Amino acid sequence: MSTDTTAANVIRKLEEIFDTFGPCNEIVSDNGPPFSSNEMKQFYHRYGIIHRQTALYHPESNGMAERLVRSFKEAMEKGSEE
C-alpha cells in the first residue's frame, strides 16, 4: 500500500486515470512540492492542463485541496491493491 506522493508517482497515477477517463483541463492543488515540481510542470504542459494552486492560508480553498489529496491517496492505495 503506497502513499508515496512524489511527482513521478502522481504523474503515473494521473496517466492511469487519463487512460480511463481522458485528460482533464485543470488541476487544483495545494502548494505541495509534487504538484509544483518541474516534472509536474512539464506534465501539465504536455497535456495542456491549467494548474491552479490554492492561496496560502485560505481555509476554504485549502480544505478542498486537502480533500482532493486525500481522495487521490485513497485511489493510489486502491490501485496498488489490484
CATH code (residue 53): 3.30.420.10
Is 77:1 a contact under the CB 8 Å cutoff?
Answer: yes
- The answer to whether position 65 is within a domain reads yes
Residue 29, SS3 per DSSP: strand
- The answer to whether position 2 is within a domain reads no
> Distances from the Cα of 24 to the Cαs of 44, 56, 57, 75, in angstroms?
10, 24, 26, 17
pLDDT in tens, the chain (82 residues): 345 679 999 999 999 999 999 999 999 887 888 898 999 999 999 999 999 887 766 556 566 667 777 887 788 777 666 5
What one-character-per-residue DSSP string does 46-60 give? HHT-EEEEPPTT-HH
- The answer to whether position 30 is within a domain reads yes
- The answer to whether position 21 is within a domain reads yes
Q: Is the overall model pTM greater than 0.75, yes or no?
A: no
Range of the domain at 46: 7-81
State the total domains in the chain: 1
